[in-house]
């Protein structure tokens, strides 16, 4: 039976390399759709958790993982030789930036090297990791064709950008439309059939390059608009205008405006990073992305601005940052997640430490953190006392915001979590 037949009959064996925020939800959806799924990861602790039927991702229900494992449709392993048994392999590994702001493709290349060892006729390989346009065709295709198989005939190769939004209560892996672009029309057709079995909507595009560019456009769009509204926030502060009131009024327009909100900086694996992937690739073609890089500069400067607001707030009480007890509420990169990647709270903490502050934090999703010389443990919210300044860096829903103005002498609210509260000890962006 060919691969299309196996997909139609749910007889295809699916492998997912990388069991993080992207890979685990995808593996569970394939298993729920009736496929035999094997997750691959170099982290043995993740493998053990999955095989025990437990979830370590907040957006993935532990009961669903347990049900899939019990039904023998989901398992995990560190043994990459099991790739030889797979009909389909999805690559969901990290694609960070180097310190020089160029793409670090080492995880993708490492995964591809393992697949190349065990590639066989009829295998479908899909890259989901966010990357620059051309990666699938320029990096992966030559590695696989070197094994003697021709793409579109001997094996299938496609790109389908992950669109995971952690803690989104409305959209998940199943109901978020899935963009798919193949190296050849045959590759596109087979990849579309794969995802159609597990997600509600598949959006085919003409090539892997288009699919790769889709993800970068989506996140660059957000990064640029957040950069714009962050600059408006800085401007409004200088003019003594409440930027939050401005945005609330502007979003009443039913067309031509989409609200974005200022904050302490960009965090997460995608939005702070993806624009630099696009900028790096554009430079290879002799094009300079001035607009995108300017937005990156504005967003990157927000932690320093937050520290300046903390300094201004303390000055109203004749205090300096040096020696002040400053407590951060929320250190994850966004509300109701545990992900610390690129979190602006880390930059804020380090900037405050350099200026001599005594630091502590509360985050129900991050029990401890170690970053550089920082080594802190989360303090339960009701035990926080004796601080000179409380900073709302991440607006988790669990915090008792109504009690803040009476508990802390100074509050710097970077997320408008205390919206509408007129207390004089609240300082906003």
Q: Shortest CA distance to 336 belongs to which of 396, 394, 279?
A: 396
The answer to whether the beta carbons of residues 138 and 102 sit under 8 Å apart is no
User: What angle (nearest 5°) sits at the alpha carbon of residue 251, between those of residues 248 and 256?
Assistant: 155
Q: How far is CA 403 from the centre of its chain?
A: 31
Collapsing DSSP to helix, strand or coil, 346 comes out as: helix
Cβ burial 118-142 (10 Å sphere, 16+ → b, else e): bbeebbbbbbbbbbbbebbbebbbe
Place of tokens 């099991």: 82
Kind of pairing, strands 374-377 and 202-205?
unpaired
Q: Where are the beta strands (DSSP E) in 144-281?
A: 156-159, 178-182, 202-205
Kind of pairing, strands 411-413 and 389-392?
parallel
Q: How many Cα neighbours within 13 Å face the side chain of 247?
A: 19
Choosing from 68, 187, 270, 389, the catalytic residue is 270
Collapsing DSSP to helix, strand or coil, 23 comes out as: helix
For this structure, is 289 an active site residue? no
Kind of pairing, strands 124-127 and 202-205?
unpaired
By annotation, the residues acting in catalysis are: 270
């Amino acid at each position: 039976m060919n691969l299309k037949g196996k997909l139609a009959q749910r007889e295809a064996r699916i492998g997912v390399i990388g069991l993080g925020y992207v890979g685990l939800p995808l593996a569970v959806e394939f298993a729920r759709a009736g496929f035999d799924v094997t997750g691959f990861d170099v982290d043995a602790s993740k493998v053990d958790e999955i095989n025990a039927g437990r979830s370590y991702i907040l957006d993935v229900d532990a009961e669903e993982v347990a049900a899939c494992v019990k039904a023998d449709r989901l398992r995990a392993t560190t043994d990459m030789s099991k790739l030889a048994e797979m009909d389909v392999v999805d690559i969901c590994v990290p694609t960070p930036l180097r310190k020089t702001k160029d793409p670090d493709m080492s995880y993708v290349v490492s995964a591809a090297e393992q697949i190349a060892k065990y590639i066989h006729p009829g295998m479908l390989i899909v890259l989901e990791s966010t990357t620059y346009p051309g990666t699938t065709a320029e990096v992966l295709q030559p590695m696989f064709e070197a094994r003697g198989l021709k793409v579109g005939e001997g094996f299938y190769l496609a790109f389908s950008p992950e669109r995971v939004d952690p803690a989104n209560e409305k959209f998940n892996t199943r109901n978020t439309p899935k963009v798919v672009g193949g190296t050849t029309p045959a590759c596109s057709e087979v990849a579309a059939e794969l995802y159609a079995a597990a997600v509600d909507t598949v959006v085919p595009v003409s090539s892997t390059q288009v699919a790769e560019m889709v993800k970068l456009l989506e996140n660059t769009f957000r990064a640029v608009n957040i950069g714009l509204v962050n600059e408006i926030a800085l401007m409004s502060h200088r003019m003594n205008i409440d930027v939050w009131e401005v945005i609330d009024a502007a979003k009443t327009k039913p067309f031509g405006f989409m609200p974005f909100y200022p904050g302490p900086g960009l965090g997460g694996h995608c939005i702070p990073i993806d624009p630099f992937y696009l900028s790096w690739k554009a430079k290879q073609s002799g094009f300079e992305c001035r607009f995108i890089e300017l937005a990156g500069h504005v967003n990157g400067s927000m932690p320093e601005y937050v520290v300046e607001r903390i300094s201004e707030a303390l000055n109203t009480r004749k205090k300096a940052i040096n020696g002040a007890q400053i407590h951060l509420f929320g250190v994850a990169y966004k509300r109701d997640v545990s992900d610390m990647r690129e979190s602006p709270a880390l930059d804020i903490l380090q900037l405050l430490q350099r200026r001599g502050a005594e630091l502590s934090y509360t985050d129900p999703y991050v029990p401890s953190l170690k970053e550089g010389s920082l080594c802190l443990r989360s303090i339960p919210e009701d035990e926080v006392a004796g601080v000179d300044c409380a900073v709302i860096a991440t607006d988790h829903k669990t915090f008792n915001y109504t009690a803040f103005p009476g508990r802390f002498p100074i509050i710097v609210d970077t997320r408008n979590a205390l919206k509408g509260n007129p207390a004089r000890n609240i300082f906003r962006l």
